[in-house]
Amino acid sequence: MAGDTSPEATTIKVEVEDRGNKIESVDGTSVFQTKTALLVSDCGREALPSQTFGALGITTTVKSLAQIHGDEVITGRGIQLKANTTNTAAIVIGGTSVTASATASAIDGIPLAAGDTLFIEITKLSSLYAHTTANTQYLHWIAY
């Protein structure tokens, strides 16, 4: 058998730019008593990835949210969506095969009724598609 059969424990080190390139160790944590994972501390973002979050008009034509917005937005964490409280039909959010339907079993995606909110950990606006059965329903959004 090749290699050391009893390697010594090693500590992974990284260079931290915002601490003057100081070398720091990377910490881990136990998961379910049998696994080890990287210990991550989420400290938020300094700024929004975009300053424009106008309501998106969702129609009976499937489009990506970036197409409707008119520009791609890349986020650090995800996108919060909220169906306008005055919408008369559900907006369905999903991938390229998203389908809104009056029949629940025919829906492909997550339907958002008027006033419903969804946070999704997708970092590209163009990865989300929307569809509705009635013109024009409004979707409010903000990216984190």
pTM of the model: 0.73
The tens place of each residue's pLDDT in the chain, 144 residues long, gives: 565 555 566 777 888 887 888 888 877 777 777 777 776 766 777 888 888 899 999 999 999 999 999 999 999 889 999 999 999 999 999 999 999 999 999 999 999 999 999 999 999 999 999 999 999 999 999 998
pLDDT at position 56 is 98
Q: Which helix (H) or strand (E) holds 112?
A: strand 110-112
Dihedral, CA of residue 52, residue 58, residue 61 and residue 67, to nearest 10: 10
pLDDT of residue 50: 87
